[in-house]
Structure 1
């Protein structure tokens, strides 16, 4: 029973590159969260304006969209290891800019926005290369376990990173936080240098609009993929209430619990990650996508309905667990079915699907709260999420019936030798054709 609940460590044992990426990601998350907390706090300190802090989202969105799509095409035409290494080094240099600016006698405001836009652009370039690697370095039947371990790593960083960052900024200042960020990116680059090369296919084309359009056409031709994107967008648009958490805390007369409201979802995701061993034995991953998203919506609706802060926190934790379950299904379907020559471009589309949704969801939640009140904005969004997920499941029945053992695309990918020692026809025996 214990072995069925504990996380499946098969990817960790079978792939050296997966282990390197897992540790590298954990190190990077801590450094990134340092900057993620320190940057808006420094803007607040310099301007005292909520609008100036909120403007960060505006300068980040366009670079993420543009470079996310281009990064997908780049991941299919270049060595993915080099893309990761170059962007990681670039992110480290941007952290140096923040550190130098913070150490200046009078720190300037404009570099903070420039760095925020630059980080968004580099993240857009890097994320498709990272995401598209999992199908190469992890065996086909271990994709769900790999997604669970990666999500577990993220949740550990999401809980511990901000907590540590808040203490560092409060007691040691912005410059110290940026200094820690620089050190973590330096360590990350050293780890990336140890990764195996991941060259593109011999006939890979250079990044182009035509190539990006080819990836979009492929996604459009696959109802199962469309379902994963649409369900995630609907769930985040209707039921992502983080922007109104400060007002929800006021309504519940629990201003002291604001930090807990933000952390509760990650706690729920972490709990599912720590008991995710059973997910490796499931083949109907479309049910994960739909059921997890519906569970997320129900829990968010309950969080907006109840008035007891502790019940609300439990609901948010359950929502986090549902979101992670849906994410496991999406990642598994993507990595088990998409051809390697298109994986980067589809990863670029995936970056947009799970990045734009929360951005728009924050706008929806804020506007709805101003119109109908905070709690009604939360619970009505959860109800709308459940309804939209149900409609999408009915409109795209192939998502619900997806079975990794019988799906044609999954079978084709499995037969092609997905995972280590089988992705490239020119792979040498005993050499991991991974990152």
Structure 2
């Protein structure tokens, strides 16, 4: 039974990874508290769903425009230095969010400063993320990389579960500025985690540092291309989030309590998969697991469009969330182990952009199909087309399926 549970060997064997993991876990929790604070402040200052939606746009545009450049920087410079500089910048921006909350509160005048600071935070994050993605394979042996990624995934899912609720409590009992201050303190903890890292310059320079070279590598390296195609098949064709309000209205009478549980169910499934991640991180064929998990994601979401029981619907969403976590970890394992160190930053940037853009396109696709048909049809057709696309990827991405970690 023990071999099925989360593998915590990376935390025991690598002090540098342990400090890095704790720092990221704390800063991730603070980031989720800040997400709620921004949502609350924008809504209270405008009472406009348009401006509430603009927060996502303020985050997405810098990520898409700066992400590739951030990957190139990660392949040229010492990654520890990049993470130290970006963490300090994030701390400063969090303190500026505290200052504007104290000065402007939820007045209409706060909208511009909040959106500007959110955009700057996303821009700094777009530089930090590729550097951070290249840290784990430098701290752990190849056999523990998947376990390290699973621990990171558990930390992310945990922050998604706890952070928003904690943020709401802090805002309600202590105030908006205190929520931002907690986020700032979390970046200080993140800085301490980065401070304990060894020097992380690219080990061997076998390529230039150009952005186009990174794109070319991602498009032509068979394992990486297969991983990205699996991600796109799952997100573009079967992303369900935009359909939740409509399905909730069609099937469950529009009960807001049911709607609130949809995303929670996905997160619960993700946490469960992370807790039992030993069942797949100890396997040596991550490519097979990746495509299998993506198929379960598509099947589960397609089935959501067919059931009428709220509890069965939530159970299927939990299965989809678990499959998503498995796929994320194994995709990350393939990316980290199949890519030369001097290309990891740029490849991670491409993966980040695909991971950010794919769900947005998928939600747009689902909404458009549902507008013409129904929410149920959009879910079922999305699941079926996802499976067909995965079958095509499996037939053409043999190196990804054959890849072994040992």
Please say whether Structure 1 and Structure 2 have the same fold, judged by a TM-score greater than 0.5.
yes
**Partner deviation per Cα, 1:76-100 (whole Å, 9 max, x = no partner):** 1111111111111111222122211
Contact 2:20 2:196 survives alignment (8 Å):
no
Deviation at 1:246, TM superposition (A): 2.9
| Distance of 1:124 and 1:238 partners within structure 2 | 25
Deviation at 1:66, TM superposition (A): 2.1
1:141 to 140, 143, 147: 143
Partner of 1:80: 79
Partner of 1:329: 330
Partner of 2:342: 341
| Distance of 1:168 and 1:358 partners within structure 2 | 30
| Distance of 2:293 and 2:118 partners within structure 1 | 32
Deviation at 1:190, TM superposition (A): 2.7
C-alpha RMSD of matched pairs (Å):
1.8
Partner of 1:98: 97
Contact 1:145 1:279 survives alignment (8 Å):
no
Deviation at 1:257, TM superposition (A): 2.2
**Partner deviation per Cα, 1:297-323 (whole Å, 9 max, x = no partner):** 111111222121111111111001111
**Partner deviation per Cα, 1:329-370 (whole Å, 9 max, x = no partner):** 211111222111111111111111211111212222222232
Structure 1 359/14 Cα, relative in aligned 2: closer, same or farther at 3 Å?
Answer: same
Deviation >3 Å, runs of 4+: 170-173, 200-207
Deviation at 1:395, TM superposition (A): 2.5
Partner of 1:24: 23
Deviation at 1:402, TM superposition (A): 2.5
| Distance of 1:137 and 1:201 partners within structure 2 | 13
Q: Identify which range, 282-291 or 383-392, moves more after superposition.
A: 383-392
Q: Identify which range, 355-364 or 284-293, moves more after superposition.
A: 355-364
Deviation at 1:168, TM superposition (A): 2.2
| Distance of 2:37 and 2:291 partners within structure 1 | 36
| Distance of 1:259 and 1:315 partners within structure 2 | 15
Partner of 2:365: 364
The reply on whether 1:46 has 2:48 as its aligned counterpart is no
1:199 to 192, 198, 201: 201
Partner of 2:63: 64
Partner of 1:255: 256
1:179 to 171, 178, 181: 181
Deviation at 1:174, TM superposition (A): 2.1
Contact 1:98 1:178 survives alignment (8 Å):
yes
Contact 1:227 1:399 survives alignment (8 Å):
yes
Is the partner of 1:109 in helix, strand or coil? helix
Partner of 1:287: 288
| Distance of 1:22 and 1:139 partners within structure 2 | 16
Contact 1:227 1:396 survives alignment (8 Å):
yes
Partner of 1:416: none
Contact 1:29 1:157 survives alignment (8 Å):
yes
Partner of 1:169: 171
Deviation at 1:220, TM superposition (A): 2.6
Contact 1:77 1:201 survives alignment (8 Å):
no
Partner of 1:108: 110
Partner of 1:12: 11
| Distance of 2:204 and 2:233 partners within structure 1 | 38
Q: Identify which range, 48-57 or 369-378, moves more after superposition.
A: 369-378
Structure 1 370/240 Cα, relative in aligned 2: closer, same or farther at 3 Å?
Answer: same
Is the partner of 2:135 in helix, strand or coil? helix
Contact 1:236 1:358 survives alignment (8 Å):
yes
Where structure 1 has 5 or more consecutive residues not aligned to the other structure, the ranges are 406-435
Is the partner of 1:190 in helix, strand or coil? helix
| Distance of 1:400 and 1:205 partners within structure 2 | 26
| Distance of 1:274 and 1:187 partners within structure 2 | 24
